[in-house]
Amino acid sequence: MSDATPGPVEEFPDVEEAPDGQPLVAVFFAVAAIIAGTIFMPVPPLEGAFARIVAVGVGTVAAAILWGVAWFATIRHSSLGWKLGSFALIWLAGVVTLDRCIDRSYRAMKNEMGAVSDIKLDPEGRPALPEKTGNLGPITSMLSGFFKATNDDMIKTESQIGELNLEILNDAYRTQADPSVVEDCERADKGKPLVRDFAKRQTKRAADLKAQAEAMWLPEADKEALLKTVAQHSGANRLTEQAEIQAKMFDEWRIRCTILQRGKWKAWGPIFQFTSPSDLAEMRVAAERHTALRIEYNALFGKALREVNALNMGLRMP
């Protein structure tokens, strides 16, 4: 039987003491988590020194949290150098990534404000973003939604007013061919609640739009510019006046209808030939008042257009 002495037994260090905690893998997943967070979480549009302070502060907190998780998972098995180095890498990645995202968010916001400066008013005073703009982000999405709701409501209201068929009173031939409007002059009164109710709904939409704009996290100067835009394009500063002018127009429609209801006229094509001088005089006065109201109503949009153009020029300034 051999009495050979066995060789030395190799001793392995405890796992916890082995410098193989795979810190690079931990750093990779931590950086991936930071990038994913900046993609799926909203990043405020900030600028200047404050943006850098936020990037460093939030980046440091995020790096500390992720490094802490990674430390318990694997980095605690690494050497001291890797422990410190992994934190430095995660911290640097967090600060740089967040700084770039804040800058990108700020530039995107500025692009949106540029798109807002291209808002146009159509001949009826409807505001709309240019078709080429699309929805660049939260600002243009908010405004586009507001404009769509406003335009849809305007179309519906105008359709309801059109169903009253009051425009027929401008044409003697059509009025003679279809006397139903002249026989029911009270229908003119139905137009007043339509325009006043629209003004109330639009006032509510304007208030909601303002609240959304105020809730946005924007630099103070940009938020102030956005709120001015919201106030101007929502029409909140002219809704009541606009509705009351339209209501007066319906009063004039009723007066004109009442004059025609007397039947002291003949149709000469589209022209009313009155057989009563007093009715002719009344109709001329009513027509003049209606024209004056129309001019006043259109002047509101002319003023709004000038204000919008002035506001847009201000938004384009650096």
Q: Which of 293, 311, 315 is nearest to 303 (CA)?
A: 311
> What is the DSSP secondary structure assignment for residue 217, as one 8-state letter?
-
Is 18 strand, coil or helix?
coil
Position 180, amino acid: S
Position 193, amino acid: P
> What is the DSSP secondary structure assignment for residue 14, as one 8-state letter?
P
What does the block give as tokens for 182? 């002249």
- Contacts of 206 by beta carbon, 8 Å cutoff, 6+ apart: 230, 231, 234, 235, 236, 239
Q: What is the pLDDT along the chain (318 residues), one digit of tens a residue?
A: 445 455 554 444 444 443 456 777 777 777 777 777 776 667 666 666 666 777 677 777 877 777 777 777 776 667 777 777 777 877 887 788 777 777 777 777 777 777 666 666 665 656 666 665 555 678 888 887 888 888 889 889 999 999 999 999 989 999 999 889 899 999 999 999 999 999 899 889 888 988 988 888 777 777 888 887 777 766 666 778 888 999 999 999 999 999 999 999 999 999 999 999 999 999 999 989 999 998 988 887 677 666 655 555 444 433
Task: Measure the N-to-C terminal CA separation of the chain; round to a whole number of Å.
Answer: 97
Question: In 293-318, which positions are buried (b, 16+ CB within 10 angstroms) versus exposed (e)?
Answer: beeebeeebeebeebbeebbeebeee
The strand ranges marked E within 102-231 are: 120-121, 127-128
Contact by Cβ (8 Å): 56, 63: no
